[in-house]
Each structure stands twice: as structure tokens, then as C-alpha cells.
Amino acid sequence: MKKVYLFFVIAAIFTSCQQSNGPQNMKVINLAAKSSDWIETIDSNGMNRYYSCHFSMPEITSFVYNSGTVVSYYEFTSAQLVLPYVQHNQDTAGHLWTRTIDYDYSVGGLNVRVTNSDFAVDPPTAMNFRIVLMW
């Protein structure tokens, strides 16, 4: 009986030490938006300006949309910042504003939006994003 118990203990230790290559139900996609990719949008009164960039993403299937999740990150220097990301700013004249980067997705596509709280004409530069699909 002791030998059987010892066998199970050794098997459990061996199994717990095996490394996995990660879950097979996720995918990571890197996306890049060039400065020329951003589309300016304003309302019918010429107000509430924001900039958006659309990415075609066939990886967002109806199954991922209905049963999974999509998490997006803004890659800034050596950090990944989860979206929505809010950055508070002040210039040398003391003007304050906030830049918000957020996103939405649907089957087959993902949109990233950049909105400045002062709605100034200030299109985003090139930006990199990391998208994680999990199901």
C-alpha cells in the first residue's frame, strides 16, 4: 500500500512540474495606427471632436463576441496600459485637459477612439495597441 501511495505522490509532483505553453483559448494581436489612420469626427453642431481608427479583425468571431472577451492595451514606451486609459495634462500656460483612449468592438472589427477633454484639434500620432482575445 505504501508503494501505491508513493507512486501517486511522485506522479502528482511530476505532473505539477510540467510547464504549459499557455492556454489554447486565447490570442494576442499587435496593431499599429499610423498618424494618417486617425479619422476626425465631430457632431452636427461642429462640436464634441474625437479621433478614431478602425481595425478589421476577423479573429473577433461571433463566438468570441458572444462567449469570450476582448481586452485592449495601449503600448506606451515600455509599458502596456489597459484601455480605457486616461491621461491628465497641463501645458506651460496652465491649461488643463484630459486625453482618453478607449475602444469598442463588434464581430470582425475593433475601433479605438482618442478624445481630448477640451475637444481641440489635436490628432493623435502613431500608436501601438495589443489586443487579447479570450474565449
pLDDT in tens, 52-109: 999 999 999 999 999 999 999 999 988 999 999 999 999 999 999 999 999 999 999 9
| Beta carbons within 8 Å of 118's beta carbon, 6+ residues apart | 95, 97
CA distance 62 to 36: 30
Strand order, beta sheet including 79-82: 26-33, 127-134, 69-76, 79-82
Tell me the pTM. 0.80
Q: How far apart are CA 102 and CA 5, in angstroms?
A: 55
In the chain, the domains with their CATH numbers are 24-134 (2.60.40)
The residue to which cell 495601449 is assigned: 74
CA distance 119 to 121: 7
Q: What are the φ and ψ backbone dihedral angles of 82, each rounded to 5 degrees?
A: -65, 140
CA distance 97 to 88: 6
Query: Could you read off the pLDDT of 104-126 as tens digits, one per residue?
Result: 999 999 999 999 999 999 999 99
